[in-house]
Amino acid sequence: MSSARERTRERLANETPATTIVRKLKAASYSFGGQNWKKLFSFYDHDYSGTISLSEFHLLMRNDAKLSKASINDEQLATLFHEFDVDGDGDISYEEFIAWVQPSASS
């Protein structure tokens, strides 16, 4: 019988990059009141536009998702940004953010 630690290591080893990012963002979204995606999103919306720009997205991914330049370069982050930006307007709305990090909530 494998231990819980071994099962966790195996699960983490089999994660996709997207799953890893969502898991890290989920951990970062917790505050004293529980999980708070809006608070995390708003923290990186530096210009209070209601959206996250590419530069704000870079900060979110580097700081809260803990993605180093060694694990994902800036070009790959830009590609990831465009996956979030479903409508292609150059910014990520809160709805687009939630659809990516918590797909079951947006359907």
Q: Is the pTM value of this prediction over 0.85?
A: no
Q: Quickly tell me which residue has 């590419």 as its tokens.
A: 54
Tens of pLDDT, residue by residue, the chain (107 residues) = 567 777 656 665 666 778 888 888 988 898 877 889 999 999 999 999 999 999 999 999 999 999 999 988 999 999 999 989 999 999 999 999 999 888 776 55
What is the amino acid identity at position 64?
Answer: D
CB–CB of 78/13 below 8 Å?
Answer: no
Stretch (H or E) spanning 35: strand 34-35
CB–CB of 99/39 below 8 Å?
Answer: no
